[in-house]
Amino acid sequence: MAGIKALVLLSFSGAIGLTFLMLGCALEDYGVYWPLFVLIFHAISPIPHFIAKRATYDSDATSSACRELAYFFTTGIVVSAFGFPVILARVAVIKWGACGLVLAGNAVIFLTIQGFFLVFGRGDDFSWEQW
């Protein structure tokens, strides 16, 4: 039952993050949909982790080169997701209010992704693979 509660909480927080992102695009004062390209960063951010988890066979090691490289690429993706709306606001493609809403949405969505991996990525009998 704890897994269902965690899944519902993660779904709710993901919906809140997407709401912030949509508000940054669709409010009448902003009305520009360029910040939606941040969704690409949200979609590709877990890919390095999945590749590293699949490629490393020694789960007892505290660190491996493949895992560290995956952390590096994931960090680059997350930083790019936060930098993209700032650059758009800086060159006046979007307004700064929209940038703030998109940054708030980014923070919530990436914390949701991290929470998903913390709750369901342990590899014990209760994992996301059973869903």
Q: Where are the domains of the chain?
A: 18-119
pLDDT of residue 59: 60
pLDDT of residue 58: 60
pLDDT at 77 exceeding the cut of 90: yes
Q: What is the pLDDT of residues 5-22, one digit of tens each?
A: 888 999 999 999 999 999
pLDDT of residue 39: 95
Confidence of residue 4 (pLDDT cuts 50, 70, 90): confident
Q: What is the pLDDT of residues 36-76, one digit of tens each?
A: 999 999 999 999 988 888 887 666 566 788 889 999 999 99
Distance CA 74, CA 68 (A): 10
Give pTM, 2 decimals.
0.85
Q: What is the pLDDT of residues 87-127, one digit of tens each?
A: 999 999 999 999 999 999 999 999 999 999 888 876 655 54
Distance CA 5, CA 77 (A): 29
CA distances from 37 to 43, 84, 86, 101 (A): 10, 9, 13, 14
